[in-house]
Every structure is written in structure tokens, then in C-alpha cells.
Amino acid sequence: MRNLRSVFNLQSFRCNQLEAITATLEGRDVFVLMPTGGGKSLCYQLPAVCKGGKTKGVTVVVSPLLALMKDQVDALKNRGVDVCLWNSDTPQEESTQIQNRLVSNNRPMLLYVTPEKLKSSESTRRLLRRVYGEQGLARFVIDEAHCISTWGKDFREAYRCLDTLRDDYPGIPIIALTATANQNMVDDIIQRLKLKDCAFFTQSFNRPNLNYIVLPKKGKMIDEMVTYINREHPRQGGIVYCRSRAKCEDVAKGLREKGILAQHYHAGMASQDKEETQRMWQQDSCHVIVATVAFGMGIDKPDVRFVIHHDLPTTFDGYYQQTGRAGRDGNPSDCVLYYSYADFGQNVKLFEKSQQEKPYEISRETLRNQVEEARLIMQYASNEVTCRRVLVLQFFGEKFDPALCKRMCNNCASHELLVEENLTNEARAAVELVRTLADQNLTTDHCRTIFRGREIGKKGPFGHYPFFGAGKGMSVDLVEQMFGKLLVDDVFEEKSLKNVSGWHAMYLKVDSFLGYSKSSY
Ligand code: ADP
Ligand code: ZN
């Protein structure tokens, strides 16, 4: 407790922190599954600086991201903590110094190493064994522990070398931490690290201070964003995520032209420019950072008041992680997602393209999984009825009572205004129409036009088809939404056909159809 205040300048523990710290100080193996922003770092940084307890010596932290380690090491140094960072780029002189210190009595409290350094260098292992022999290792910390599991997308080859930590250093406690792991992965991680009688800490992934807002995307959304920012978060810090580098630059420029202090940030920039942009944003001299998803890992800005997804994310996990960067200080913050069916289609096409380009790296099965995940997030976005928290937490296998959302999602907030419109008959007619048109090499757009009772130029005429004009009474937007929903729900499928001028023809895939309703306000 004394260290919490004096070293880390914090007032009290958050959920599971004290419990995890106590367990590791008692010399137990510990597994911490905590959402991003939950405060995992403290669970190993605080015990590392504690004198007393059953453990003493150096806390060795293995973490996959060098940039993240550097930030943590700098922050700890600023707090007066004795800490070293050791990776493959560490200059010889500094390496020698670290090695000398590890075997002296004046050891650092924390040693951050990359898995690559542990794996590739025999001398590192020899040295650690020597320190171990002198009872000088307090514990191993495996940060982002999901990287060790081949179940996950983030599997890291170098993390494999951690399989032998337990045998190489018997009796040294291990603490594994991650923000993302389902039960299979948890079991896998425990097995690989050979954790014994491990103290397991998990908590709800609900972030009660985040307001989930999902809105349909129309055009570039610049004016909408400017209005929203000026109204809800003037001069406050935020992130806008975009799909591509070019888009980041374009959107940032658009925002600047309307008077918002915005800068783009992506991997194509010189590292100096990136650092400068990040620094300005962290010091609030730039308010909004417009970035690709590469931005954010390991960035610790507690008062991000909004995260906007300008384009539909490709995975739910990514969406959760990125939205999780808002409101780390616990104050109310917004997560805004703009979605369109076109975005979903584009995501699918991008996956298909990279699979075609790299058929040996990306299997057909991987492609199928990618499409399924993209579909999941599209279904989440286009659901205008169910509490968004229920849907987000469902992804993590968590049941959530929507009454506890407290109108902190736009579906709960607008519930009273909701009128459900049953479109099952219209959707059925659309399915029948598309079925009869299946061999005509038509695009989705053609089908929508015919559905609304219009001919399509040279092709046709289609007036004599049984469901021609079945959607006459519907607006263009509603027809587009309904067709989009049928696509996302896998009732329709779009396929590219070379002979249809680069467009996509629509085929009927499944015969059965259950029912469809659209909610409107
Ligand atoms: P994670 O690694 O789980 O994403 P971090 O360890 O980076 O989370 O912590 C997220 C933020 O929460 C940081 O700004 C950190 O200073 C803050 N934090 C952590 N523990 C506490 C606490 N007990 N009280 C207040 N703030 C905390
Ligand atoms: Zn809700």
C-alpha cells in the first residue's frame, strides 16, 4: 500500500489487483485475464518493488512489443524504479553493464526482455541461470500471454521458448497476463507454461463508463464528426480509426479544415514524425489523432474521451481493444462506430484478395473464419434492437443484464422510440425475385432496381417477372439496408464475375429463409 502511493502515485487498487499481487508475493503462479486498461502492469510492477514477501530478486518481464516495453521502462525510471531493458539491439557496452549488475548484489528490480532475446541467445540463458542459482530471480512475468497460444491469431514464434521456463528455473513463480483469451486459450497457456495450482483472476469485460454508439455511415462523415466533436467533446482528446493510410490523411485534413486540431498517424510515416504526433496528442496540443489500427498498442493516455471507427473493423476483438482505449480513467467516454454494408463487402473482398495472392500462407479455412468474423461485427453493427453491451459481452462468453446498461448504448437510449416494422414479406419477395434472376448475370444493384419496379437500361425487360416491383413502396435506403442485411446474414452471396464489367453478381445461396424485421425510429 505504501508503494502504491509513494512509487505509483495511486490511491487505491482496482478490481483483482491486490489479490493478484498478494498471490504472486506468496510465490504462487498467477493468471490475470483483465480487459485492456484494467491495470495489468501494476500486478507485476508493484510486487517487483516490494521488499519482503517470499520472493526476492529480479522480476523478469517478457513482452512482445518493444515500443510498449520502452514506454513502461521510461515511466518506471521516472518513478525512480531500478529497471533495465535488454533486447537484441541493446549496445554492447550497456549489455555488459546489465550482465554485471545481474550477478552483483546491486541487481535491478525489473528486467524487461524480448522473447527473441531469451530464445536466441545462449549467453542470456546462461546468465539467467547463474542469477537463478544465486536465488536472485523473483518471478517471470509473461505479458500478452495469449501470444504463446497457437489457438490465437497473435501467436508469436519466439514465445515458444517460454515452454521450458518452468523446467529451466524450477520453483520460480510465473505470472501470465492477457486481455484476450477464451477458455481454450487459457487452458493452452496454463499447459504450455506448466503453471501449477495457479491463482486465476478474471473479471467482467464490461466497461460501464463506455457509451457504445453505432450509426449508419453516409458519405465521408466529416461534417457529422465535426458537429459531434464540437458538441460533445470540444478540445478533448480522441482517436479516429480509419482503414487505410490514405484515408487517415484525408480525414485528418477534412477535420482540420473545419477547425479541429487533428493529425494523421500511420506506419508509413517517418518515426520522428510519428513520435512528434504522438507527443503532441498526449500533451493535448493536438486533440484528435486519425490513425490506422497500428496506433494505440501500449499508448497510455487515460483521458481519451472518444474513439470513432470511421470504417467497419474486421474483427470483434480488434473493435473491443480499440474502443477500450477510451476512458481508461473511468470517466464517461464514447465509442462511435460508423458502419455500412459496403464496408463489410469491401472487408470480405480484401480478405479474398490476400488469400488469392498468398494461398500458401492463408488457407481457405482461414479465409472462411475471417469472413465469419467480419460478418459477426456487421451483424452487431446493424442490430438496432439488442443492447450493445449484451452483444459485446456475448462475444467474450459473458451474459449481461441489459437493465444494467443504464442507457449507455444507443440501442438502450433509443428504446422507447423504437417501432418495429415487419419486413418479412418484402424480404421473402426479394429472395424469390433474386432466385428467378439467378442466371441473368445481374449485379446486386440491378436486383435492387428491379425489386423497386424499374427497368435497367439495355438488359431486360423484367416487367413480366413475378416479383418485379415488389418493393415499390419502400425507400431506396430501406431497400439497400434490407438487401445488405440479407447479404450479411448469408441469405445472398456476392461473387465476382469477370464478364460483368468488374461488378458483382448476386446469387442465391440458401433456400430456407426464416424471417426478417427492420426496426426504425
Ligand atoms: P492494461 O495493461 O491492463 O491495459 P495498464 O496497466 O496500462 O492497463 O493501466 C491502464 C491505466 O490505468 C494506466 O493509466 C494506469 O496508470 C491506470 N491504473 C492502473 N491501476 C490503477 C489504480 N489502482 N488506480 C488508478 N489508476 C490505475
Ligand atoms: Zn445497452
Percent residues over pLDDT 90 in the chain: 48
Q: List pLDDT tens digits, range 76-132.
A: 999 999 999 998 888 889 989 998 988 888 888 999 999 988 887 787 888 888 888
Structure ipTM = 0.97
Nearest CA-CA partner of 4 in 50, 35, 70: 50
pLDDT band (50, 70, 90) for residue 240? very high
Ligand 1 atom nearest to CA at 12? 23
With cut-offs at 50, 70 and 90, classify the pLDDT of residue 506: low
Is the C-alpha dihedral spanning 102, 46, 70, 82 positive or negative? negative
- Say which residues have a Cβ less than 8 Å from residue 454's Cβ, sequence separation at least 6: none
Residue type, 86: W
Q: Please give all residues whose beta carbon lies within 6 A of any atom in ligand 1, as ranges.
A: 10, 13-14, 17, 34, 36-42, 300, 302, 328
Are the beta carbons of 329 and 302 closer than 8 angstroms?
Answer: yes
Residue whose Cα lies nearest atom 5 of ligand 1: it is: 39
Pocket test for ligand 1, best of 21, 328, 331 (most atoms within 8 A of CB): 328
Average of per-residue pLDDT across 434-439: 82
Question: What's the pLDDT at 277?
Answer: 95
Which of 145, 175, 202 corresponds to the end of one domain? 202
The amino acid sitting at 37 is G
pTM above 0.90, yes or no: no
Q: Which ligand number lies closest to the CA of residue 12?
A: 1
Closest Cα to residue 491, out of 482, 504, 500? 482
Please state which of the ranges 114-123, 277-286, 319-328, 483-492 shows the lowest mean pLDDT. Answer: 483-492
| Ligand 1 centroid, distance to 37 Cα (angstroms) | 6
- Supply the CATH number for residue 446's domain: 1.10.10.10
Q: Is 472 left (phi over 0), alpha (psi -120 to 50) or beta?
A: alpha
How far apart CA 496 and CA 503 sit, in angstroms, is: 6
pLDDT of res. 153 = 67
Cβ–Cβ < 8 Å for 495, 444: no
pLDDT tens, residue by residue, 28-66? 999 999 987 788 999 999 999 987 666 789 999 999 888
Looking at residues 309-329, what average pLDDT do you find? 92
Task: Give the Å distance between the CA of 329 and the centre of ligand 1.
Answer: 8
Ligand 1 atom nearest 298 alpha carbon: 7
Give yes or no: residues 454 and 395 share one domain. no
Domain with residue 85: its CATH number is 3.40.50.300
With a cut of 90, say whether residue 246 has pLDDT above it. yes
Domain total of the chain: 3
Expressed in angstroms and rounded, the spacing between residue 417 Cα and the centre of ligand 2 is: 14
CB half-sphere exposure, 43, CA atoms < 13 A: 31
- Picking from 390, 413, 436, the residue at the C-terminal end of a domain is 413
Ligand in closest contact with the CA of 324? 1
Which residue from 276, 279, 277, 290 is spatially nearest to 226, judged by alpha carbons?
A: 290
Farthest-apart Cα atoms in the chain, separation: 91
Cα dihedral 483/488/489/492 (nearest 10): 60
The rounded Å distance from CA 10 to ligand 1 centre is 9
Task: Tell me the ligand closest to 414's alpha carbon.
Answer: 2
Distance 300 CA to ligand 1 centre (A): 8
In 3D space, the residue among 504, 141, 479, 114 whose CA is nearest the CA of residue 346 turns out to be 504
Model pLDDT for residues 349-405, shown as the tens digit of each residue? 999 998 999 888 888 888 888 898 899 999 999 888 889 999 999 887 788 888 899
pLDDT digits (tens, 9 = 90+) for 137-183: 999 999 999 989 877 667 778 888 899 999 999 999 999 999 887 78
Q: Are residues 347 and 456 in the same domain?
A: no
Residue 418 lies in a domain: no
| 175: phi then psi, degrees, rounded to nearest 5 | -125, 120
